[in-house]
Amino acid sequence: MRTILRTMLQGFGARRIVEAEDGAAGLEALDRANPDILILDWVMPILDGPDMVRMIRTPDNPFAYIPIIMVTAHTERSRIVEARKLGVHELLCKPISAKALHQRIMSVILQPRDFVKTAGYFGPAPRAIRNHKKAWKAPVTTNGD
């Protein structure tokens, strides 16, 4: 999967692509690489995607606001809901296409979302809330606040 993603990203013109063999190595690579976007697989050895997102999406983490695209072969509703609760920006279903990957990347770049912090959630504002902020009762912060 990493080879496929790397090939697609290179085709889009990405100049610096950092890969990790597992979630633990991915966390270590964050500090060294300081990436603009994080693309994770749901299932990874040592530390899976959801656990990695939980570690990243803490307000005191220097990478807490990084856009995260999660790749998964399982598209049942419960998995989509869990990804949203984790603070994933975009979900990309396998088998992936270059078009779908490009759309997700453009979404996180061209349509950045404010972050919200409540007692049970820290992450990007859900799309419905982003478009109707007045209905959201929790404090809304911008990236970096």
Write out pLDDT tens, residues 14-70.
999 999 999 999 999 998 999 999 999 999 999 999 999 999 999 899 999 999 999
Question: Of 112, 101, 100, which Cα lies nearest the Cα of 141?
Answer: 112
- At 128 the pLDDT is 61
- At 12 the pLDDT is 95
| CA distances to 32, 73, 84 from 20, in Å | 12, 19, 24
Q: CA-based angle 30:35:40, to the nearest 5?
A: 70
Helix axes 49-56, 77-86, angle to 10 degrees: 20
CA–CA separation, 42 vs 14, rounded Å? 22
**Mean pLDDT across 127-142:** 47
Question: Of 72, 32, 68, 35, which Cα lies nearest the Cα of 52?
Answer: 68
pLDDT band of residue 75 (cuts 50, 70, 90) is: confident
- The domain 2-113 having CATH identifier 3.40.50.2300: the answer here is yes
Domain ranges in the chain? 2-113
Give pLDDT tens digits for 80-117: 999 999 999 999 999 999 999 999 999 999 999 999 99
Element (H, E) at 143: none
Buried/exposed 106-136: b ≥16 CB within 10 Å, e otherwise? ebbeeeebebbeeeebbbbbeeebbeeeeeb
Q: What is the pTM of this model?
A: 0.85
Q: Specify the higher pLDDT residue, 130 or 80.
A: 80
CA–CA separation, 82 vs 48, rounded Å? 14
